[in-house]
Structure 1
Amino acid sequence: MTAVLDAPTEAAPAPRPASRRGTRALVALLALGAVALLVLAGFRAAQESVSFEPVTPVFGGSAPAVTLPSYGVKGMYVIGYEHGETARISLPIANDGPLPVTVRSLDLGGGVAPLLLVREVTGLPLSLRPGEEGVVEVIAELANCRFFHEREVQNLTSFQIGVSLLGQERTRVVEYDRPIMVHSPMLVGCPDRRLDREANDRSDLVRVG
């Protein structure tokens, strides 16, 4: 009988240890990614941190305006509607956030047919450091009463501003310290209103926007 001997098997080569240079590169890459995530999170947090104190408006112009401190929860500012007259509203805007911002635009609100129709805004752009205050002035005409019923009310509780922060454009809502109320006048006080009350009903237009 002839015995067949198996050839001796060769041992598998031992795995090579990872090079120190590759390990260091991986650690550095992971650390860089973590830092980038932290920077991005901080950047977004800074963008969201911008805030503004409630505004106490100052009224001027030819339109009558009064303050009713005991009306409602916070009181009320009331602008008397006299068609074609002008309301001059000074808005002291204070940067209550931790970063400098620039206010670039202002929207008083009221939809597409506001009783306070803005004709001019002065004081923009307004750059504010943290804790700093500046004034934007709005000149608005008492108009659009033909789209409202007699004694219908338009309440403004806030306005919207466009701001630049860290190179990004954002919008923020700024509250008034108390609402501003404008009454639509009686029929004789609105020369553009038609005698047919049904023809004046454009509440669908007023509520758009």
Structure 2
Amino acid sequence: MNRTEDPEEKIVVAARRVFVEKGYENASMSDIAAAAGINRTALHYYFRAKDKIFQAVFGSLIGPFIPKVQDILHSDAPFFDKMDRLIDEYFEVFSQNPFLPRFVMNESGRDVRHLVEVAESIGFRTYISTLVELLETEMAAGRIRRLPVHVVFLTFIGQVMFPFLSRNLICLILEIDSDRGAFEDILTECKRTVSCQMRLLLDKDSPLVVPGV
């Protein structure tokens, strides 16, 4: 191991690859040690349990995202400006970590309670609570269309995650070379489209007819 390299960071990077490939349940401490190029004794010196490594991995991916989106939600900007900035942040974190959406989906299918517990440990629950409060306040004030909050969440998350989940399929169908920047151009267009669709859904003056509303 390079002495100038942070051992914990090297372990977290290696564990990230292992968790993405095998999932939390199927990944072993031996797998992580081998990927990091160390023995299990050295691994246990830094992380006593696999759960602690998983928390460190998830924290390294999502941790910097939480304060950014909290700052956006607590800002004095108009609601739709906040929404556009949230979309930017989601696309940014997924662009930097394109495996993250699939990783989250896979872990949700394996053990969603464990995933939620880890997410809560790095402040994700606080972010969600703040977002729900913002939506309910804006709806109550009549500034946006009144909709069930879960409908807004499902629509938003589906639109920001699907382009990354479907990257390989889209590139194959449209015969796009994903390594030459063409897909990044698609993501730029998708981001603008997501913004338009969310405005169409939530703008109380939009012509969209929402069943049951």
Q: Same fold (TM over 0.5)?
A: no
As a proportion of its length, which structure holds more helix?
2
As a proportion of its length, which structure holds more strand?
1
Higher Rg: 1
> TM-score band (shorter)?
under 0.3
